Chains A and B, each alone.
Chain A
Amino acid sequence: MLSAQFISLLTVLFDGVAFGMILFLISVGLSITMGVMRVVNLAHCGFAMIGGYLTYALTTMAALPFALAVPLAVVGTMIIGAILERTVYSWVYGQSELGQVLMTIGLTFVMIAGANALFGSSIQSIPVPSALRETVQLGPVGLPVYRLFLIAVAAACGVAIWLALEKTEAGAKLRAAVDNAKMAGCIGINVKALFALTFAIGCGFAGLGGALGADIFPLEPFYALHYLVLVLIVVSVGGLGSIKGTLLASLILGLIDTLGRYYLPTGGGIVIYLATLMLLLARPHGLFGRPA
């Protein structure tokens, strides 16, 4: 028989993986858009929050089923992202990092104030269908179905992004535009439209992460700032524009964070930040990033 400690370790590891996968969903869009457009986007977590709140509004206020509300919320987040990309973000493309930091912090503030005005300052939870609320027994270990579902969705998204980038023509165009935007424009790729689409898709993944991850990352107006540091660490450790790096960094961070919370309540953060510091000092472009 497995000992009780071992079972609890397995449960914690499983929670860590689920946490990491949600982090991956939220971060992957930022990694791609920051890698592609070189914009420091501190408002990215705001898009995850928008996805979460849209799902909340659709399931509770409009009483739509969960399976319909989530895709609609993702599409809604993408539309909002595309509109903002064509307006406020296009203002800062040519500016220094500082201007980008300032504009996106301002945008985050507006999102926080908006979320508070519409939904109030308390934590809102998204009702999940009963089929997903069960627990499956895997031998002696009980695993919540919802977290299995999260991991499966996030993994599917990761595979889909990888396939889209590596195996499709649009992906090839995007990679060309990342390497050299001017040259890509010269050979007839509509770089602006491509970037806007990429940005919208990145926001869509964040929105999905926000919608599905609401029970791990609770939905409240300061969501947009609370998880920003974690997401930025994932993106910079993984390396801008690298799917593989983002996935690896999310999983490592998720596991360290969850394990730390159980076994080392005060020191968990220190381990993460110290490791990030050392890694970024040794490799300023992250694990799989390339120099700009």
Chain B
Amino acid sequence: MNLPTSILLPAGALPHYRLGVMDVLPWIVALGVFFAFDTYLSLGAQILTMVIFGLSLDLALGFAGITTLGHAAFFGIGAYAAGYWNLHFTAEPLSGLLVAGLAAGAIGLLSGALLLRTHGLALLMLTMVVTVLLHEVANAWGSVTGGADGLSGVMPDALFRVFQFDLFGKTAYLYALGVLFLVFLVVRMVVNSPFGLSLRGVRENARRMHLVGASVHLRLVAAYAISAILAGIAGGLAAQLTRTVSLDRLTFQLSGDILIMLIIGGVGRLYGAFIGIPLYMLMLDRAAAVNPFHWMFFVGLALILLVRFAPGGLLALGDRGWGKGGKQ
């Protein structure tokens, strides 16, 4: 991966020295949407959910360098856990997110410990197989997951026992935005911590990390588990907001989609998910109204060109074009 050295060096890696106007911008935009486009709030909440999912993938892929085609596994587990919790235990939404995160984190820890001994192609295949295996299990285990019909009738109670989830999606949007903000703070803290720096070390040169006495496997498993927890929270949020859980939360295709959206924005930069995911989902929403197949053609073409001309994503284009942070 060809990242500017400013991101790799400790001084650049601790950007709380230089929190600028740009760091406030996404949140202003998100709040602005709440007031300006109040008819699109349910789409907005879906986008925010996917941004959380994208952030979790960025932690694993962008910072720890774990190439995975199976991140939907954790999203799906979170969605089913939160849905089941809502239907059979309590409809309190925050505990549902906690359960979603814990369930996904447990599977993340277990599968990470097994899978992360491999890398490259084998890792891609294994993460993919874990996802399709979980999909089959969810399909067969009808008593818990509802099989092919999925879970429906998920109805979260009022948030903090005060804010009802209204028909216009106002509470839902702010709830998703709040969760996103917390997740963002967690990811930012993790990647800027000494642990996060050592993860970047593993990503850049695992052998050298071994030589300096750092346990590469432990670090990767820890990062993968944290990432799984956050993906699970995103899945749980999706279950609560859409009020249903279906098998397509657990597909290989969703893993591919989130990967595409994140890479369009830019990997390993924290803000890649904030650019790529809204852009992709808004265009998808518009194009689906016209003709989904035409949309696939243009996305496909855009991906091919992106890989050719901007391998680091759209944010990397910014580095080169506007010369900010590009002190290679």
- Which chain A residues (215-270) contact chain B, with CB distance < 8 Å? 221, 225, 228-229, 232-233, 236, 240, 266-267, 269-270
Q: Which residues of A contact B135 (CB under 8 A)?
A: 269
Please indicate which of the listed interface residues A106, A111, A269 has the most CB atoms of chain B within 10 Å of its own CB: A106
- A101 and B69 within 8 A (CB): yes
Q: Residues 258-292 of chain A: 1 if any B CB is under 8 Å from the residue's CB, otherwise 0?
A: 00000000110110011011001100110000001
B126 touches A281 (CB 8 A): yes
Binds B, one of A87-95, A136-144, A146-154: A87-95
Q: Which of A95, A109, A228, A284 contacts B296 (CB 8 A)?
A: A109
**Cβ of A122 under 8 Å from chain B:** no
Which chain B residue shows the least CB distance to A281?
B114
* Residue contact B300 to A108, C-beta cutoff 8 Å: yes
On chain B, the residues within 8 Å of A106 by CB distance are 299-304, 306-307
Which residues, 83 to 107 on A, are CB-close (under 8 Å) to B?
88, 91-92, 95-99, 101-103, 105-107
Q: Does B1 contact A (CB under 8 A)?
A: yes
A232 x B301 contact (CB < 8 A) = no
A228-B259 Cα distance, complex, nearest whole Å: 17
Across the interface, name the chain B residue whose C-beta is closest to A42. Answer: B256
A277, B133: Cβ atoms closer than 8 Å? yes
| Chain A contacts for B133, CB-based, 8 A | 269-270, 273-274, 277
Complex contacts, A40 vs chain B, CB 8 Å: 121, 124
Determine whether A129 belongs to the interface, using a CB cutoff of 8 Å to chain B: no
Are B124 and A102 in contact, CB atoms less than 8 angstroms apart?
A: no
Chain B: CB-nearest residue to A103: B307
Q: How far is the CA of A95 from the CA of B263 in the complex (A)?
A: 14
Residues on the A chain within 8 Å of B306, using CB: 102, 106
Number of interface residues of A (CB under 8 A): 48
A91 to chain B: which residues have CB within 8 Å? 307-308
A270 touches B140 (CB 8 A): yes
B125 interface residue (CB < 8 Å to A): yes
Q: Is the CB of B304 within 8 A of A281?
A: no
Main secondary structure of the interface of B (DSSP, over half): helix
Greatest chain A CB density within 10 A among B139, B253, B311 is at B311
- Output the least CB separation between A25 and chain B (Å): 21
Task: Output the least CB separation between A110 and chain B (Å).
Answer: 4
CB-CB under 8 A for A97 and B121, given A102-B303, A110-B304? yes
- A185 CB–B CB distance under 8 Å: no
Separation of A88 and B126 alpha carbons in the complex (Å): 27
CB contacts (< 8 Å) of A111 on chain B: these are: 300
Instruction: Check A196 for interface membership: any CB of B closer than 8 A.
Output: no
Q: How far is the CB of A199 from chain B (nearest CB, A)?
A: 17
CA distance in complex: A281, B67 (Å): 16
**What separation, in Å, do the CA atoms of A46 and B122 have in the docked complex?**
22
Does A121 touch B at the CB level, under 8 Å?
A: yes
Q: Which residues of B contact A107 (CB under 8 A)?
A: 300, 304
A-side residues, CB < 8 A to B, are 34, 38, 40, 88, 91-92, 95-99, 101-103, 105-114, 116-117, 121, 221, 225, 228-229, 232-233, 236, 240, 266-267, 269-270, 273-274, 276-277, 280-281, 284-285, 292
